[in-house]
Amino acid sequence: MKLTLRNSHLAAVAAAALTMASTSVSFGAPPDTVTIPNTFIAGSPAKAADVNANFTAVAGAINITAEAVSALQTTVQNIPTGPQGPQGTAGAQGARGPAGPNGPAGPAGPAGPTGLSGAAGPIGPAAAQGAVGPTGPLGPQGPTGPTGASGPGSVGAAYTIPGSGGSAGGGYIVLNSPTSRAQLNITCNYSVAGDNEAFWFAGQGVTAGQIAITNQLDGEILQAFNELAINQGGQDRAVLPAWPWHGVFTANDGGTLSRWDVTVTGTSGGDCIVVVYANNGGAAYIVHP
């Protein structure tokens, strides 16, 4: 009886082992055929010994084959890994997945350069005018301008003030505004030789702030006052140079302006000549006690 190996797995393993060029394996080769020692004929009795002899022959062939398979398995396990084959062609790109969540914002970059200025827009409507601010401090006095010519309507007169005699040894002239609310006095050696003064007195009912006074003497700084008041004695005294001198005196009583253009010549202890051109002036008279 001929027994042929039909196990495909064992056959494949055996074939692979036998084709290895670099590996030498030595093991007992299984027989290609199994010889059965006893043959039985139908209708004839079979002896137990013959049957057992047949089974023994089959078992021996199977054992030899098992040993060969085990050796082959060991050899295959020890075969070194071959080089990696070439990479296959890339497959088609898959569909795009859903968008992931936004990452955190990065730090702000540096500011770019300033762009060009745009064209100016139209001027808007004017806003309402604000309240008038407080009056600033009085600026420094400017230089004295030249004395102008006497205007029309000036009334000129010359007066002589005694410079000696009498109880006071001299006298003075009084120049009144039309209402006598402002009164300019100019002295000539009054009470003492060389006395040469000009100052103002207030009339009845005058309080500070009602009458503005100015004294402008040639070569001197303009003087301006606003404190003339009754019962305050001589006020708003002018700074007079030595004789002869020329000056312009004004009194603004609530918008009513009186002006005196005065030239005075005199000597210490002698008489004084006073030439007056008055605009809107009141009474004028000499006092010689």
> For 60-70, what is each residue's pLDDT tens digit?
888 888 888 88
| Span 11-22, average pLDDT | 38
Please tell me whether residue 234 adopts helix, strand or coil conformation.
coil
Question: Among residues 248, 282, 92, 68, which one has the least CA distance to residue 174?
Answer: 282
DSSP structure class, residue 194: T
**Residue 14: pLDDT over 60:** no
- Check residue 52 and give its pLDDT: 92
| Cis before 244? omega within 30 | yes
Q: Which two tokens stand for residue 198?
A: 């000009």
52-62 burial string, b = 16+ CB within 10 Å, else e? eebeebeeebe
Q: Which residue has the higher pLDDT, 92 or 213?
A: 213
- Check residue 19 and give its pLDDT: 41
Q: Mean pLDDT across the chain, nearest whole number?
A: 85
pLDDT band at residue 145 under the 50/70/90 scheme: low
**Residue 255: pLDDT over 90:** yes
Q: Which residue has the higher pLDDT, 221 or 135?
A: 221
The region of weakest confidence among 63-72, 130-139, 213-222 is: 130-139
Dihedrals phi, psi of 63, to nearest 5 degrees: -65, -40
pLDDT band at residue 21 under the 50/70/90 scheme: very low
Question: Among residues 109, 237, 222, which one has the least CA distance to residue 185?
Answer: 237
- Degrees (nearest 5) of the Cα angle 244, 226, 157? 35
Question: Among residues 147, 183, 191, which one has the least CA distance to residue 167?
Answer: 191
Is the pTM of the predicted complex or chain greater than 0.95? Answer: no
**Residue 128: pLDDT over 50:** yes
Question: Among residues 172, 170, 173, which one has the least CA distance to residue 157?
Answer: 173
What is the share, in percent, of the chain residues with pLDDT greater than 90? 49
**Residue 6: pLDDT over 50:** no
**Residue 118: pLDDT over 70:** yes
Which residues 6+ apart lie within 8 Å of 53 measured at CB?
Answer: 37, 38
